[in-house]
A and B are shown apart, each in its own frame.
Chain A
Amino acid sequence: MKVLVTGAGSLLMREVAIALATRGEEVVCMQRREAHFPPGVRVHQELGDITNLEAVAKAMAGCDGVVHGAARVGVVGTWNDFYNTNVVGTQNILAAAQTQHVPRIVYVSTPSVAHHGLSLVGADATPAVTGHQRAYYAESKAIAETEALNANSNTCAVVAIRPHLVWGPCDTQLVGRIVDRAQKNKLAMVGSGSALIDSTYITNAVAALVAAVDALQVGATCAGKAYVIANGEPRTVRELMQEICNAAGVPFRPKKVPLSVALAVGSLMERVWPRMGKGEPPLTRFVAEQLGTAHWFNPRSAAQDLNWSPTVSLDEGFAELHRWFLEQPRPLPL
């Protein structure tokens, strides 16, 4: 099978490309800058911007499937920036798939497309909703996911996969930030730290996306649907953060921030920080909600329809993370 993987500059999508290539698929990667692959992994790289329809069509030529994970993330940027990459980019993928007769598209989404910051307890993957206000990422992803799933047809099957809070070695988003804050003794814990949240170890997230490629075809149960992917092992925020710190060998001394304060500060930072040109702010409303309220899901439909279930437990994941930190050149601060 020839598969196009977009957004291979990110950890998750690069690993997906590697996994597909390793098992013998012909993999084309499309991202803006050259990505580094381990020696021996055969991947063809098509550098380009997904907002450019021609470039997308060229990369997709002859493909049997697409895993579309290219996206603008975070909070920095204007609505237009988010809209162009996430919505227009996805529209280009859908349009190109039609002209190139590609029969399957796996759209990499996020659980936040369906929710507005309430706690989620054993929740199902409900349809994406709009109205996320200043959360441009969630809003643009929601629009894109809806368009992608609407494009599901009897010539091209589309599935949306929403991995929840992916972490693992090399992860700069969750692990990197927590360890960085902990090292600077600036680690904040939102609320009482007692909200149960599920997360996804990177290997499981990669396997889920590969499983989606395999399960997806025209008329398949999963076609036209959205699935949340997670380890199925919710933990309190406190325990999760502590395990990450332990794995990294940094002390765990969080400062407690009430949820209401975190939301207010996050909200303010979202507006002010981007104009200061300092990159991503340390706290956003989105992060405050993610870490301050329960987030865990019903894993049943993903297990049944994608024929996937997590193979690496949290404990194994933390052990793996610890081994990785030990291999890192910088000295552990222990």
Chain B
Amino acid sequence: MPPSRRELEQFGVRPEWSTVVEVPSHNGATYAWHVLQRPGSSEHAPVVLCLHGNPTWSFLWSRLFHELKSDVRLIAPDQLAMGYSENIGPRSYETRVKDIEDLLRALNISAPIWIVAQDWGGALAMGYAVAHPQSVAGLVLSNTGIAIPQGRRAPLLIKISAASGLHQFITQRTPLFVKGTPLLPGHALTKVQRKALAAPYKTPYARRGIAGFVAEVPFHAEHPNQQVLNNVAEQLPHLNMPVRLIWGAKDPVFNDDFADDLMQRFRNVALHRIASAGHLAVLETSIASLVEDAMRENPIQKQPAVSLGEPEPLWGRLENSERAHEIAVNDAAARESVTFDEFAAQVATYAQELHQQGVQRGQRIAVLVPPSIDLIAVVYAAWRIGAVTVIADRGLGLRGLGNAVRSARVQHVVGSQKALLAARALRCAPHATFIDLGKLHGAKKLESLAEVYAPQPQPQDLAAVLFTSGATGPAKGVRYTHQQLCAQRDALQHLYGITNADRFVAAFAPFALYGPALGICTGLANMDVTAPRTLTAQALNEACESIQATMVFASPAALVNVLATAETTNTTALSKVRLVMSAGAPVPLATLQAMKTLCPQAEMHTPYGMTELLPLADISLSAREAVGEDQEGTGGVCVGKAVNGCDVVVAAPHSGRDVQPLATGVTGEILASAPWMSDGYDRLWHTQNSARPLREEGKRSWHRTGDVGHLDHAGNIWVEGRVVHVIYSVEGEVTPVPLEIAVESIAEVQRAAVVGIGPSGVQQVVVVLETLTGKEGEASPELTAKVRRVVTPQKVAAVWVVKDLPVDIRHNAKIDRTALANKMSTLLSGEK
């Protein structure tokens, strides 16, 4: 019996989708299938077949049915003996593959189809694709598998469910399995969704199919399905169709191991790993745009190979006879330093030892070493032997760091005993070998890099996976090749006129890694790396003093604290630097101006860019002062002109691969392209496709920065906020930053955030403030009036004061306007 109209409506399923199809079976019988069907907009609409697994039913695809573009025909059957399809006895894997053939024949579908499948449905989809490769246009597989991955035991949860004694109890006689599966994703599913998933399985009789389904999973070699599945698995490498994986990373059953297993089996395959989702990722998150992306007929966007010649390797400037006895790296916190000679020997020693510990070219290694000479030496050692360094800084928070490392699937972890224990506890590197830093310390000393016999990497080999700050969602891994890092080094050298005479203090650890590649003396300041705002003027001055620094890099939050602690401190060493750089978050003009008084000889520069592409643009303090206010567009923060060699264009956001430049002065998304741009995203094919639209033949693709802004006639870039923070009001699109700048001109306002609430297209603007008095709640009528006055003609629905705006942990400066908008929506709805 199919579900009633009322039930379907309660579950959010359109009643007209629910159909019962009488399907003549290959065995001569006729079975009644319950099938959710959404017709396409035309007769020739492409068909997507959705196959659910155990213990769910076609409701699993309800979200896709609502969200997938309407010109696709969707068919989601309840498997026989499952959901609301005919409750016949147990069926074998092979029979179920034939059942799919029966169903498609009954529905008169002959053109090649896409199959989107999850769990056991995925195994069936693979079986069908192997049996009918010509009938399948492509596969989208989510949290499934065809075989137990090598070196891994069967998933414990399923094994328990299938254990002979417990099997009937868990799967059929009690609703444990049915109720338990939707709980796996935690709170990601709503109560209604959980109720809907369990709806057809209320009685032990109704759960017969579930028990049968579990029994089909082969856990031992003698299982009748084992050989069949093995045969399918062996055929997978011969399939040419595109296979796209959508993986909920929190799935305790079909975890990363299964994803990797499938990655190795298919020819044309890519993985999109969703860190926040679990086993039922297809229902927990919106996958429609991924399915649409997969169905487009083009391969995963790869950077067109643009040769940069044979660059000087990253470690190329470590051995320099003229400077052998000059300081290469100085650690002000540990009061240690090494000369170039010593540092090169240390890198050589570590490289050789890592190689002996089994680290091979192309393998990934997480470097869990706090900022120190050791950290820099280990990274360069890994680069020398062609290992891919996975660098997640503590600025992501411990959990963020664990998730980041886990997402990169490292083969090795190197760190102190303590760090390795933490890595084990966080389970962020399953199957990895753990290399104790002490082993590197105790290794046989080499004198020079020439003695390392491990092979060197090629320029196009992967060198590093870095992580975005994750201000909007989980941190994303960003891949860099050796030649891209080399190009980045050269771009920085050009931009800031760096010579051998320069000495560099990095008060933001990842930046210290560039020093040795540039061949300049590098100093680390004494600070808590997890909290940049703890950098004191004294610590910075000492770091500069000990190497007679000429250049300083510090994050904006760090500069603010340096200024706050400068009054009582000797800042002689600071007064001698020629260049101060600050980036990572918007740097207020006043901060730079105050810093200029501390470093009167220095040029103050703010490079603009992101983890994926840095530097994109640059502006000096004097240039910023000269530019003044925007005359051509809607205002914002001027981040300067594009760096030499970097192309920049402003285009409509969300325009996919169609990049049409907008006129100067018109606000859109900022796109850029440069030789030092990262290779792309790690294990995120959909993000890669959307963020990297291709340009004409032979040119590097664009990178969508996710920032909105405009260009002026002089070529200056004005940044107005993030794409995801644009407000779509009745009057048009509103960018937050220009309004925030206006509001921050009010004396009692410390910091402002402008957000939109309500449905896109009719959003109302709400201004949220941190004030000097800090009394939380609706702003006073006087302050509200002031805010409305400075943002005229923009309409403002409400002005609110909060104690602290939500900011990222790394820079303490990027406001999470999405979270803030959600909070204000609730507050201003009156429902709470």
Contact = CB atoms under 8 A, between A and B. Distances in A.
A238 B828 contact: no
B764 interface: yes
Given A236-B798, A237-B830, 18 more contacts: A121-B758, A121-B829, A122-B763, A122-B764, A191-B830, A194-B830, A196-B828, A196-B829, A196-B830, A233-B797, A236-B778, A238-B778, A239-B781, A242-B781, A293-B829, A296-B758, A298-B761, A299-B762
A25 B40 CA distance: 52
A283 to B, nearest CB: 16
A195 B829 contact: yes
Interface in B763-807: 763-764, 778, 781, 784, 795, 797-798
A119 interface: yes
Nearest to A252: B781
9 contacts: A119-B831, A121-B757, A195-B829, A233-B795, A239-B784, A242-B781, A259-B830, A293-B829, A299-B762
Nearest to B832: A192
B825 interface: yes
7 A-B pairs with least C-beta separation: A195-B830, A122-B758, A122-B762, A119-B829, A122-B759, A293-B830, A294-B829
A233 B796 CA distance: 8
B638 to A, nearest CB: 32
Contacts of B831: 119, 293-294
Contacts of A194: 778, 798, 827-828, 830
A300 interface: yes
A297 B764 CA distance: 10
B828 A236 contact: yes
B166 interface: no
B825 A235 contact: no
Given A292-B830, A293-B829, A300 B798 contact: no
A234 B830 contact: no
A306 B730 CA distance: 16
A194 B831 CA distance: 9
Contact of A299 (B730, B759, B784, B828): B730
A65 interface: no
Interface in B807-832: 825, 827-831
Contacts of A89: none
Contacts of B764: 122, 196, 234, 296
Contacts of B829: 119, 121, 195-196, 293-294
Q: Is the interface of B mostly helix, strand, loop or mixed?
A: mixed
B762 A300 contact: yes
A227 B757 CA distance: 22
A232 interface: yes
A119 B759 CA distance: 13
B830 A298 contact: no
A289 B784 CA distance: 26
Interface in A75-124: 119, 121-122
A293 B831 CA distance: 6
Contacts of A233: 795, 797
Residue from A232, A237, A294 with most neighbouring chain B CB atoms (10 Å) = A294
A239 B785 CA distance: 11
B729 to A, nearest CB: 10
A282 B830 CA distance: 21
B639 to A, nearest CB: 33
B727 to A, nearest CB: 12
Contacts of A235: 797-798
Contacts of A296: 758, 764
Interface in A209-263: 232-239, 242, 259
Interface in B746-764: 757-759, 761-764
A191 to B, nearest CB: 5
Contacts of B730: 232, 298-300
Interface residues of B, number: 20
Interface in B17-76: none
A194 B777 CA distance: 9
B762 to A, nearest CB: 4
A238 B797 CA distance: 12
Interface of B: 730, 757-759, 761-764, 778, 781, 784, 795, 797-798, 825, 827-831
Nearest to A193: B778
B70 to A, nearest CB: 20
Contacts of B778: 193-194, 236, 238-239
B519 to A, nearest CB: 58
Residue from B757, B759, B795, B830 with most neighbouring chain A CB atoms (10 Å) = B830
Given A238-B778, A239-B778, A192 B762 contact: no
A262 to B, nearest CB: 11
B800 to A, nearest CB: 9
Contacts of B798: 194, 196, 235-236, 239
B764 to A, nearest CB: 6
A119 B797 CA distance: 16
Nearest to B760: A122
Nearest to A237: B830
B828 A195 contact: yes
A299 B759 CA distance: 12
A136 to B, nearest CB: 24
B827 to A, nearest CB: 5
A297 B762 CA distance: 8
Nearest to A118: B831
Interface in A262-310: 292-294, 296-300
Nearest to A190: B830
A213 to B, nearest CB: 24
A196 B759 CA distance: 14
A233 B794 CA distance: 11
A297 B730 CA distance: 11
B795 A119 contact: no
Contacts of A300: 730, 761-762
Contacts of A193: 778
A298 B759 contact: yes
Nearest to A291: B830
A20 to B, nearest CB: 28
A298 B828 contact: no
A298 B729 CA distance: 10
Contacts of B828: 194-196, 236, 294
Contacts of A195: 828-830
A192 B781 contact: no
A238 B780 CA distance: 11
Contacts of A121: 757-759, 825, 829
Contacts of A293: 829-831
Contacts of A294: 828-831
Interface in A187-201: 191-196
A121 B757 CA distance: 8
A300 B829 CA distance: 21
Contacts of A242: 781
Contacts of B827: 192, 194
Nearest to A233: B795
Contacts of B763: 122
A182 B764 CA distance: 29
Contacts of B758: 121-122, 296
A312 to B, nearest CB: 14
A308 to B, nearest CB: 14
A300 B760 CA distance: 12
Nearest to A293: B830
Residue from A237, A292, A296 with most neighbouring chain B CB atoms (10 Å) = A296
B766 to A, nearest CB: 9
A319 to B, nearest CB: 13
B762 A119 contact: no
Nearest to B763: A122
A294 B797 CA distance: 12
Contacts of A292: 830
Contacts of A299: 730, 762
Given A122-B759, A300-B730, A192 B830 contact: yes
A119 B830 contact: yes
Given A242-B781, A294-B830, A196 B762 contact: no
Nearest to A297: B762
